[in-house]
Amino acid sequence: MKFLLPLFLAAGLAASALAAPPPGHPSPEAARELLLPNKPPRAAELPNEGSVVSTINANEYTYIEVKRGAQTEWIAAPRQELKPGTLIRFEEGAVMTNFHSKLLQRTFPRIMFVGFVAAVPK
């Protein structure tokens, strides 16, 4: 029994040391915000830009045909409403070739799946 008291005291001290970050360290909430921001990036922070030609909403995705210069390409992003002609910016993503959507019964020769698309304010 005598050896349990020092063990409990050591465990309590270790737990209290873990509970408070050292001076100058961000709080757990601030650190979490730095690592996993809850808000999407602003349009200006996204590297690619183009104009919406057409969209197809399917379940949780929106397939967006984007005109960039003289070329068009397809991107897929989390579902959102975009109108043709809207100027958008989007991040780099995972490119897939010959991607077949069973839901749409369509094969996209090349499509990029992205996490963020933002309409550029006028």
Give 32-49 pLDDT, tens digit per residue: 555 555 566 776 677 789
Same domain? 73 vs 22: no
Contact (CB, 8 A) for 57 and 77: no
Helix (H) or strand (E) holding 10: helix 4-19
- Which residues constitute the domain of residue 20? 4-35
Cα distances (Å, whole numbers) of residue 54 to 24, 27, 57, 72, 114: 50, 44, 10, 10, 17
Pairing relationship of beta strands 71-78 and 106-113 according to DSSP bridges: parallel
User: According to the model, what pLDDT value does residue 121 have?
Assistant: 82
Instruction: Please tell me the predicted confidence (pLDDT) of residue 8.
Output: 47
Contact 104, 58 (CB under 8 A): yes
- Residues 59, 93 within the same domain: yes
The pTM score is 0.66
Rounded to an integer, the average pLDDT of 16-38 is 57
Q: Looking at the structure, tell me whether residues 63 and 89 fall in a common domain.
A: yes
Cβ 90 vs Cβ 68: under 8 Å: no
Closest by CA to 74, choosing from 46, 93, 60, is: 93
Shared-domain flag, residues 29 and 88: no
CB atoms within 10 A of CB 13: 10
- Whole-number pLDDT of residue 109: 95
Looking at the structure, tell me whether residues 61 and 86 fall in a common domain: yes
Mean pLDDT for the chain overall: 79
Structure tokens at 94: 């995972």
